[in-house]
Amino acid sequence: MPAPLDGVTILDLTHVLAGPFCASTLADLGARVIKLERPGIGDDTRAFPPFLQGESGYFAALNAGKQSIALDLKSVPDRAIFDRLVGRADVVLENYRPGVMERLGYGWEALHARHPRLIYGAVSGFGHTGPEAGKPAYDMVVQARGGVMSITGEEGGPPVRVGASIGDIVAGMYLAQGVLAALYAREKTGLGAKIDIAMLDAQIAIQEHSLAITAATGHPPGPTGARHPTITPFSTYRAADGFFVIAAGNDALFAKLCSALALPLADDPRFATNAARCENVHLLKRLIEAVTLEHPAAHWIAVLEEAGVPTGRVQTMREAMADPQVLARNMVVPVAPAPGGAAFTAAGNPIKMSTLPDIHSRGPAPRLDGDRAAILHWLDAPDP
């Protein structure tokens, strides 16, 4: 059975994270991704640690299974190759600052006039409109500007960046959604579309509780550590040997938690409703931990799971990568080594579809310009 995006060709001019993450998602759905890189240098992440046999594991995790061709879009011969590639492509992805592609003669308006069916996906720090459209940005900048860092960390502590690069990754997710919507619309209209994703926009869009609290009360929330600001108990708790989490998201689950921990609190007016529990969150945590500190986390996880209360261990990435549930879902897969190259590990495809075979490994990460001959041969072949 063909994958959903079989036959879709994507020219990926992006580098580092947001754009490559989008392109990797689309590749998992069956698209062919041709990565265009700078001659002699390539994607910046080729120089990012960790390294195995001189190759970047970071680059491999994001670009496994893609093809690479090195092109200088200021060079006449390379521009000729790019023009031919655009003529065969369905989607062009770029993450330059707004205006760069226009100066090269490859902005949306120019490409759309020549190739009306082409889909143009752009991701940048602040988008292609607005007073700060031309400013550069990295993940940390948009986490800061978008308010995410103001709610991350411990109460009373300094602002903290989220450990995963959500400024880039979430923007890449939204770009992938936009591309899929544009491909669907093209089936009905015959026309491509421009998708303009701003990393800052994406940070605003994901803050469901922070935005709601601020809009309703006029007071922005601050950091609350691991706990949820509007649901209690919903946090980390100490056991005899470390931390685990409890997520009792409604009154029924709180009653089950109280029964499992032998705490007579379900009918206590201070804790009988979620609003009351939020008002008394610190007291409730002390009462819960007075019990949970008596035994290891594994004991309490078993007790709470038996009672039907959502819970889990706080795992390191090493532990998460060995988690039986993660492995059963093929979410940690090997990256096939290029000839003579290193073997890497990457995340699997989280999109599980009945019409899409799950991946058990990824193809090799491309060597810089390593697929030039194959790509040029494809260009010379007749259009099917």
What is the secondary structure of 120-187 as a DSSP string?
EEEEESS-SSSTTTT----HHHHHHHTTTGGGSSSTTS-----SS-HHHHHHHHHHHHHHHHHHHHHH
* Crossing angle between the packed helical segments 166-189 and 18-28, to the nearest 10 degrees: 50
Question: Are residues 240 and 293 in contact, defined by beta-carbon separation less than 8 angstroms?
Answer: yes
Percent over 90 (pLDDT), the chain = 93
Q: Which of 209, 228, 295, 299 is catalytic?
A: 228
DSSP 10-21: EEE---SSHHHH
DSSP 57-86: HHHHHHHTT-EEEE--TTSHHHHHHHHHHH
Task: Look at residue 317 and tell me whether its pLDDT is greater than 70.
Answer: yes
pLDDT digits (tens, 9 = 90+) for 110-147: 999 999 999 999 999 999 999 999 899 999 999 999 99
What lies within 8 Å, CB to CB, of 235 at 6+ separation is 225, 226, 227, 228, 245, 246, 285
pLDDT digits (tens, 9 = 90+) for 42-90: 999 999 999 999 999 999 999 999 999 999 999 999 999 999 999 999 9
Percent over 70 (pLDDT), the chain = 100
State residue 208's pLDDT score: 87
pLDDT digits (tens, 9 = 90+) for 234-249: 999 999 999 999 999 9
What lies within 8 Å, CB to CB, of 130 at 6+ separation is none
State residue 2's pLDDT score: 87
φ/ψ of residue 347, rounded to 5: -70, 150
State residue 132's pLDDT score: 94
C-alpha–C-alpha distance, residues 113 and 96, integer Å:
21
Q: Which of 341, 347, 262, 321 lies closest to 63 in space, CA to CA?
A: 347
Domains recognised in the chain with CATH numbers: 9-206+324-380 (3.40.50.10540), 234-314 (3.30.1540.10)
What lies within 8 Å, CB to CB, of 300 at 6+ separation is 239, 244, 292, 311
For residue 366 the two structure tokens come to: 């491309």
pLDDT digits (tens, 9 = 90+) for 325-381: 999 999 999 999 888 888 899 999 999 999 999 999 999 999 999 999 999 999 998
For residue 141 the two structure tokens come to: 């900048």
Q: Is 228 among the residues known to form the active site?
A: yes
